[in-house]
Amino acid sequence: MKPGLFQITVKLFLWHDQSYLALKDTGTGYGDLPGGRIGSFEAEDIMSALKRELEEELGSNLPIEISKEPVTIFYHFVIKDQAPAFGVVFEGKLTDSSFANSFQLSDEHSDYRWLSIDSDPSKLFFGTMLDGVKKYLSTNPLSRLY
């Protein structure tokens, strides 16, 4: 058997007022989570990769507490590059409510919204990202965060 080659994405479920941040991907129009693929030079410090991605996608100096360890992983297919990947998922909380609607989105995302845990993720997310969102939400994250 030949070993598979996969990319790694780091994703963050960012919570505020018991809702999580969902982004709208500019290219596909589907839902996305903050984060992105890590570079080969970032493999030893995945948290730094996540923080870099958050700054690129949401803006700098956001008051966020992030879990020290990933809370789940999921298979992810990166549509724009037709690339298989694994999503490594962290969770965090926005610690200052005044930042809840002041994100500086990059050109990768055209919109954002806060979704309650009771929202139907299939109205925004698609494919393997939807599978990953459902997997994470099934772990009862509010019991860990609030």
pLDDT tens, position by position, 5-43: 899 999 999 999 999 999 999 999 999 999 999 988 888
Strands (E), the chain: 7-16, 19-25, 31-32, 35-37, 64-66, 72-78, 83-94, 109-116
Provide the whole-model pTM: 0.93
**How would residue 63 be classed by pLDDT, with cut points 50, 70 and 90?**
very high
Three-state DSSP at 41 gives: helix
Q: Taking 90 as the threshold, does the pLDDT of residue 80 lie above it?
A: no
- The pLDDT of residue 78 is 84
Residue with the larger pLDDT of the pair 2 and 65: 65
Burial class for 44, CB neighbours closer than 10 Å (0-12, 13-18, 19+): exposed
Task: Give the C-alpha separation, 49 to 134, whole Å.
Answer: 24
Sign of CA dihedral 108, 82, 139, 124: positive
CATH number of 7-145: 3.90.79.10
